[in-house]
Amino acid sequence: MGLVKEFRDFAFKGNVIDLAVGVIIGAAFSAIIKSFVDDIVTPLLLNPALEKAHVKNIAELSCNGVKYGNFISSVISFFIVAFVLFLMIKAFNKKEETAVVPSGPTEDQKLLMEIRDALKSKNNL
C-alpha cells in the first residue's frame, strides 16, 4: 500500500502535472508549426525552388535515391519552434527583470544606514 501512496504523491505533484501539460501543448504546437511549414512556407517560399527541381511536393526531393525533402521540412520546423521559444523565453526574462527592480531602500535599510552613519561619526570623535 505504501508504494501506491508514494506513486500517487509523485504523479500528482505540481511539477509532474506541469510537465505533462507542457508536453501536450508542445505536441499541439508542433502540429501547428508542421502545418505552417507544409501549407504556408513551402508553397509561398519554396515553390520556386521546387519548380526548378521539377518537383511538386517537398517530400519528393531526392538526390541519387536519397529523399531529403522531409528532412528539409523538419529542419525548417525546428528552426521556427526554436525561434518562437527563444522569443518566449526572452520576453519572460524581460518580465522578470522589470519585476525585480527595487524602488529604493526600504525602511529597515534606511534605519540601518542611519545607525551605521551614527557609529562612524561616534568612532571619529
Q: What is the pLDDT of residue 36?
A: 86
User: pTM of this prediction?
Assistant: 0.53
Q: What is the pLDDT of residue 100?
A: 60
Cα distance between residue 77 and residue 44, in whole Å:
15
Q: Are 31 and 80 in contact (CB under 8 A)?
A: no
Cα distance between residue 64 and residue 102, in whole Å:
63
Each residue's pLDDT, cut to its tens digit, for the chain (125 residues) gives 688 888 887 777 767 777 888 889 888 888 888 888 878 887 787 788 778 878 777 777 778 888 888 888 888 888 888 888 888 888 888 876 666 656 788 888 889 999 999 988 887 76
Q: What is the pLDDT of residue 101?
A: 59
Residue 87: give the domain boundaries: 2-124
Specify the number of domains making up the chain: 1
Q: What is the pLDDT of residue 13?
A: 75
CATH number at residue 87: 1.10.1200
Cα distance between residue 42 and residue 21, in whole Å:
30
Q: What is the pLDDT of residue 1?
A: 66
